[in-house]
Amino acid sequence: MRKLFFIFTTTIFLFIQPSTVETSTELATITNVALGEGFILDEWQVVMIEKISEKEFDNITKRLQNSYLDTVVKDENKIKYIFETKNSKDQINHYFQAIVPTGHANQITFQLVISGEEWNEVIHNYYNNLTNRLQNELSLTFSKIFTCVKLNDNGIINDGFSDDEIWKKMKVIHRSEQIDNVEQSVYEKEVYGYNKLWNRTIIVENETVNFHMSIKNNDHNKKQVIIGTPIILNEY
């Protein structure tokens, strides 16, 4: 059974509490536990989302114009604005994105997307400083935050690795599991769980969850693990 990871479906409802300035708790927990278990970090991504008004967007664009390059993409349903930093020497990557629905200029979805391919204490501190600075500069607090970490298993799954170890160390309670039985599918299974220490949650099939793990086979016939909270935002 092939599952889509997009969050906007009829069976998934968001109940995400507004974020505080600290946004790296889940990211640090996932990466530190996974690396400690022997996984190899491929990449990580954090997407922060907030609904803003047209006036707020105008103020934000004025603050970004000196330090960011902007790109505008239009189609019949929306206008998308992408703001990419001019500083290419940052330790981690980030950009802003605004989606303006056609005919609804006062219902703008504003996003901050941060990503990287390494994780350590230096990157952790830099991430916290960056997110604090950007939110303060824009006078904006993001109410929805999605974290996703992509890992390569380095052979440990084939060597008898148990999912229980990750759940235990991440303090995750197992909720449900879905096995993909489609022949030659790259997807093996998906697991949903709940960590009471993480305050952003969603409802999936009438269960409160904030841990989503997908195991798949990559192009080299090796296992790849993707972990997201409160859910994997998309198949990135």
Across the range 131-144, mean pLDDT stands at 93
Phi-psi region of 207 (alpha: psi -120 to 50; beta: other; left: phi over 0): beta
Across the range 193-210, mean pLDDT stands at 88
CA 140/CA 148 separation, integer angstroms: 22
pLDDT in tens, 75-121: 999 999 999 998 777 779 999 999 999 888 888 999 999 999 999 99
Tally the C-alpha atoms within 13 A of residue 176's C-alpha that lie toward its C-beta.
9
Tell me: pLDDT of 13 over 50.
Answer: no
Q: Percent of the chain scored above 90 by pLDDT?
A: 50
Taking the CA atoms of 224, 218, 231 and 98 in sequence, report the sign of the dihedral they define. positive
Tell me: pLDDT of 220 over 80.
Answer: no
- Which of the listed ranges 11-25, 50-64, 141-155 does the model predict with the highest average pLDDT? 50-64
CA 188/CA 216 separation, integer angstroms: 5
The total number of residues written for the chain in this structure:
236
Across the range 57-86, mean pLDDT stands at 94
Across the range 36-58, mean pLDDT stands at 94
Tell me: pLDDT of 137 over 50.
Answer: yes
- CATH number of the structural domain 12-229: 3.30.2030.10
Tell me: pLDDT of 199 over 90.
Answer: no
How much is the pLDDT for 14?
46
Tell me: pLDDT of 15 over 50.
Answer: no
